[in-house]
Amino acid sequence: MPINKNAYFRYRLIDHLLRINDFVKTKDIIEKLYDRHDISVGETTINKDIRDMQTDLHAPIDYCHRNKAYYYPENVEDIFPAIDLQPEEISALTFYAKTLQQYREFDVFKDFTNAIDKIVDAVKIKTSQSGIDNIILIQPENFPKFQGSELIPEIITGFDTKKKFTFDYQKHTSEIAKNHVVTPIMLKEFDHLWYLIAKRDGKDYITTFALDRISNFSISNDNCEDVSAFNADEYFNHSFGIAVLPEGKVEDVILEFEDWRGRYLLSSPIHKSQELLEEKNGKILLKIKVIPYHELYSKILSYGSHVRVLAPETLASEIKDVLQETIKKY
């Protein structure tokens, strides 16, 4: 008999709880289902699940009237096919899931980490491995949930409809929100914020919309335009950050760093085009090929006195002007 998705999750969890506990009460199963899978069911459903597992999966589940709980006899064989993963593969999945915890406020990522948990549960893991669940081995940087994050699941679902999106958008520089109808292309993250890349109706160019400035979002009844020619790698190839200036000029930006700062950037490049030009006299020269824009200015300024722009001259002049204006404020 085919097993629907929720029933499969319930069967897996019941089997897991019976294997790690001497006795399992129905209410314990209900609580665990809600905590782990956000599935809400009653006692009638769980009791039926256990009967179905006994019949369809030949699970040797017994009931103890004294404890009023279900239990497995000793040495029960697996009732589900084991997933044959190597220890390093289990570690990789666990690392991925824990890394994604910083996005736990987003429903779509919550579902993903839960999916990994289910895979790990289905794998035969040694007792010595399962005993470290409460030890924090990985601590990714966490960031507060930003306005607009609630749109992510709806936008992802909207991509599958092949329909245009409509929403109001208010720029930081404007006090008025403007309505837009767009063909969605992709979601992109930058600096821990999310953006919708889309083609506006009646425009030939691509526009970037910050999710925190979108309101009144809905999916229209109009079919999307054909944007299959869009190539994300090419589009963002020379951008620094999220902003793309189609009319901008690609420049060879040469930056001179103090040795200690430059060495850090050799192992953690500031852009995929980064090249090492020279190391001498306590200085490291790096080159990147980008279209200079606000995000690049901010990045350079973040290094303070540890960097100097050697080229192009126009960028060096821009940075100098910003620094001089900054000094005037003190």
Which of 17-21, 37-41, 155-159, 215-219 has the highest average model confidence (pLDDT)? 215-219
Q: What is the pLDDT of residue 312?
A: 95
Q: What is the pLDDT of residue 124?
A: 45
Residues in the chain, overall count: 330
Task: Indicate the residue type of 181.
Answer: V
Q: What is the pLDDT of residue 125?
A: 45
Each residue's pLDDT tens digit, 141-177:
666 667 777 888 888 888 888 999 999 999 888 889 9
> 5-71: which CATH number, 1.10.10, 1.10.357, 1.10.3470, 3.30.70?
1.10.10
Which among 204, 208, 200 has a CA at the least distance from the CA of 293? 208
Which among 182, 168, 191 has a CA at the least distance from the CA of 294? 191
C-alpha to C-alpha distance for 207 and 167, rounded to whole angstroms:
14
Mean pLDDT, rounded, for 113-121: 59
Which among 243, 257, 247, 260 has a CA at the least distance from the CA of 296? 243
CA 13 to chain centre: 26
Least confident of 46-60, 115-129, 311-325: 115-129
Which among 153, 149, 141 has a CA at the least distance from the CA of 99? 141
Q: How far apart are the first and last CA of the chain?
A: 75
Q: What is the pLDDT of residue 82?
A: 56
Q: What is the pLDDT of residue 76?
A: 83
Which among 224, 233, 173 has a CA at the least distance from the CA of 200? 224
Mean pLDDT, rounded, for 248-257: 93
Ranges of each domain in the chain:
5-71, 87-130, 151-235, 251-328
CATH number of 151-235: 2.30.30
C-alpha to C-alpha distance for 202 and 94, rounded to whole angstroms:
46
| Whole-Å CA distances, 167 to 113, 192, 214, 220, 233 | 30, 22, 6, 10, 27
DSSP secondary structure of 295-322: HHHHHHHHTGGGEEEEE-HHHHHHHHHH
Least confident of 9-23, 143-157, 257-271, 273-287: 143-157
Please report the beta strands in 48-139, taking only residues with DSSP state E, as ranges in sequence order. Answer: 62-64, 69-71
Q: Which tokens go with 7? A: 């029933």
C-alpha to C-alpha distance for 208 and 200, rounded to whole angstroms:
10
Beta pairing class for 69-71 and 62-64: antiparallel
